[in-house]
Amino acid sequence: GLMSSSPVPLIYRAGLSLLESRATPPGKMQRRLIGEAQNDLLKAIRLWPHSCFADYLLGVTYYEAEFYEDAEDSLLHALDVDPQFSEPHLALGNVYIKLQEWDRALLHVNTYLAGTENAEGLHNLQAIRSRLQNIIENETISLESGAADLP
């Protein structure tokens, strides 16, 4: 019927699994919930290859599972599908922080902030942005000054 060919129930169920996994202590149960969410999202994407939201959620599940390169791929794909969708920028900021790619993290945090006037946790994000700018400036300074001058 209509429901069996629609990715919406799969995406919805994946979202619930992801929320439940965040309320579950780290361990086998949490990994199972994240795995279930991934399976549902991969099925949804096969049914509906142009769902930026399914790609975004899949990226989040990879991030939670600490597969940062896979997370990056899914989140970039979500932005290819819908460049106006701002949430993947925030998630990519988190991915690049984990990968210690500070410039790219800052780019995505800035893009998210530019597209979101009343972002949730705006103050927190601005603090993260300042921190990234400091890291980038200090890396540049430390590279220029040579290792002997490092604290």
Buried b (16+ CB within 10 A) or exposed e, 39-67: ebbeebbeebeebbbbbbbbbbbbbbbeb
Rounded distance between C-alpha atoms, residue 29 and residue 31, angstroms: 5
Model pLDDT, residue 1: 44
- Long-range own/partner contacts, residues 105-113 (CB < 8 A, 24 or more apart): 105/132, 106/132, 106/133, 106/136, 111/86, 112/86, 112/87
Q: Which helix (H) or strand (E) element contains residue 23?
A: none
Average pLDDT on 48-64 reads 94
With bands split at pLDDT 50, 70 and 90, how would you rate the model's confidence at 140?
low
With bands split at pLDDT 50, 70 and 90, how would you rate the model's confidence at 149?
very low
107 token code pair:
């780019």
21: three-class secondary structure by DSSP:
helix
- Residues 71-125 pLDDT 10s: 999 999 999 999 889 899 999 999 999 999 999 999 999 998 887 766 566 777 7
Model pLDDT, residue 136: 79
56 pLDDT above the threshold of 70:
yes
Model pLDDT, residue 7: 85
pTM higher than 0.85: no
Q: Compare 5 and 147 and report the one with higher pLDDT.
A: 5
Q: Compare 118 and 1 and report the one with higher pLDDT.
A: 118
Start-to-end Cα distance in the chain: 66
134 token code pair:
């400091």
129 token code pair:
């942005």
142 pLDDT above the threshold of 80:
no
